[in-house]
Structure 1
Amino acid sequence: MELFAPLRFKNAGEQVAERLVTALALGVFVPGQRLPTERDLAATLGVSRTTIREAVSRLAATGYVEVRRGRHGGAFVIAELGPDTDEMVRRTLVPDWDQFEQLFDFRVLVEPMIAGTAARRRTPEDIDRIAAALEGYRGAGSNREASSAADRALHLAIAAAAHNTYLVDLSERIRQGSTLGFRSEAYSLAIRERAIVEHGELAAAVIAGDPDAASAIAAHHFTTTETRLRELYEQARAAATRDQP
């Protein structure tokens, strides 16, 4: 599960920049959104704030983010893609792709089991929490940060309904590994529209106590980030092949 161990080498700033660019391409962060603070990014990626500062400076110099000063300042995303995106994605994904494949397989084995167990064990209190979390996701609109937080809250509510803390922790660790360490799933407006439907179906199956339906819906739903990562991986490999002399 330690797909992205802390970065501990002399060019860590470059490596963090590459991972952030890959996260932008994945939709973890979108134009107009402020990146997490230096402190939060450092804690997430297991590096120093100096390394984060260097990485953000690289992104600003290449046009991915704009650094704004002042009370409401920070690093704001201004572009998801750039001329070097494919190469930076390749450097992030290709060396660990075998581990990604195992993680994708693990996820489609584990998440349906969690959803099915939640459908069998949910209590009236769980039903209320799941219903509230679903409404929270629907109400998040196109706000990326709110949508990400609401998505995570809904899946935590469903996992919690299985009444096994190990399963909740396992689901969170899988999410972290699948999302480059950031815990935000792949995002686009099209993905959100699909998720609104699938979240409703998944919540309804769990609330209705239908483990077979809950498992089947989860098996499909949890391939969204995998699908986008596969697209990025193939694009990066194809670009590298084209650039070869």
Structure 2
Amino acid sequence: MTAHVPPDVRRTVYRPVRGGNALEDTVARIVQTVRLGVVAPGESLPSERDLAARYEVSRDTVRQAIGELADAGYLERRRGRYGGTFVADPVPAPARLELTAAELDDVLGLRRVLEAGAARAVASRQLTEAERAELRARHAAVHAAPEAEYRRRDTLLHLAIAELAGIPSLLALLTENRARVNAWLDAFPLLARSIEHSDIQHDRIVAAILAGRPEAAETAVLEHLAGSEALLRGFLA
């Protein structure tokens, strides 16, 4: 029960989140709170105001995170005098994956190296008009994707960036790595607010590449990957 949770555990799960991916980190932190039993099934979370203060994010971010997790079946909102946000009872079962923490670290670490390096390499090249048009088309396709198609089109955009780097072995490695990550992403719900955040980050990545700014492209990719990494660790770790 909540009363028996060690203070150090409480401080850890309620510590401030990082600034770059506040929504994804807040979702992941709340999932960890539920998975660790810091708040038991049927018990209430701290108020939105309290969570916002602990995580050092806006109340709107907390409200969005709670909404996503309520839609996914992890939380329940109740109105009235005894209302609030409660952990679902029962909590959805975690995805059954043969996955170790070391494997997760390895694959996600390689992903950061490959995708950030690919974006930097593309932004360092003088792209042809045809290549620029292809990148814009892939980017537009992700923006226009219905929810059921989003992850597929997102993957195609990332692979297009790798292909434009002009390094065949890099594309092969990134394709294999992306396939493993996608299998894990498919184990938990696609969050609507996360899609909106992802689209904004895609805008920054593509803009930096087209402007020929390698460092900005690399930074934008790393920020983008950190969001999905937070969700993976929250739902699967």
| Fold match (TM-score > 0.5) | yes
Q: Does residue 197 of structure 2 align to residue 194 of structure 1?
A: yes
Question: What is the Cα deviation at residue 183 of structure 1?
Answer: 7.6
Question: What is the Cα deviation at residue 103 of structure 1?
Answer: 1.5
**Percent of residue pairs identical:** 23
Q: Does residue 147 of structure 2 align to residue 139 of structure 1?
A: no
Question: Where do residues 200-219 of structure 1 align in structure 2 (5 Å cutoff)?
Answer: 200-219=203-222
Distance in 2 (CA, whole Å) between partners of 1:151 and 1:162 is 17
Alignment counterpart, residue 164 of structure 2, candidates 138, 161, 164: 161
Tell me if the contact between 1:126 and 1:157 (Cα under 8 Å) persists in the aligned partners: no
Aligned length: 153
Tell me if the contact between 2:135 and 2:161 (Cα under 8 Å) persists in the aligned partners: yes
Question: Where do residues 18-29 of structure 1 align in structure 2 (5 Å cutoff)?
Answer: none
Question: What is the Cα deviation at residue 84 of structure 1?
Answer: 6.7
Seen in structure 2, the aligned counterparts of structure 1 residues 182 and 188 have a Cα distance that, compared at 3 Å, is closer
Question: What is the Cα deviation at residue 231 of structure 1?
Answer: 0.9
Alignment counterpart, residue 229 of structure 1, candidates 207, 228, 232: 232
Tell me if the contact between 2:185 and 2:232 (Cα under 8 Å) persists in the aligned partners: no
Q: Which runs of 5+ in 1 are unaligned?
A: 1-25, 27-78, 235-245
Question: What is the Cα deviation at residue 184 of structure 1?
Answer: 9.5
Q: Does residue 132 of structure 2 align to residue 102 of structure 1?
A: no
Supply the RMSD in Å over aligned alpha carbons. Answer: 2.8
Distance in 2 (CA, whole Å) between partners of 1:233 and 1:184 is 8
Question: What is the Cα deviation at residue 189 of structure 1?
Answer: 0.7
- Alignment-derived partner of residue 129 in structure 1: 134
Seen in structure 2, the aligned counterparts of structure 1 residues 172 and 125 have a Cα distance that, compared at 3 Å, is same
Question: What is the Cα deviation at residue 85 of structure 1?
Answer: 3.6
Code of the residue aligned with 1:196 in structure 2: it is D
Distance in 2 (CA, whole Å) between partners of 1:183 and 1:208 is 33
Question: Where do residues 28-39 of structure 1 align in structure 2 (5 Å cutoff)?
Answer: none
Question: What is the Cα deviation at residue 233 of structure 1?
Answer: 3.6
Tell me if the contact between 1:123 and 1:161 (Cα under 8 Å) persists in the aligned partners: no
Please report the TM-score for the alignment, with normalisation by the length of structure 2: 0.57
Q: Which runs of 5+ in 2 are unaligned?
A: 1-27, 29-71, 75-88
- Alignment-derived partner of residue 174 in structure 1: 177
Question: What is the Cα deviation at residue 224 of structure 1?
Answer: 2.5
Code of the residue aligned with 2:142 in structure 1: it is Y
Seen in structure 2, the aligned counterparts of structure 1 residues 92 and 80 have a Cα distance that, compared at 3 Å, is farther
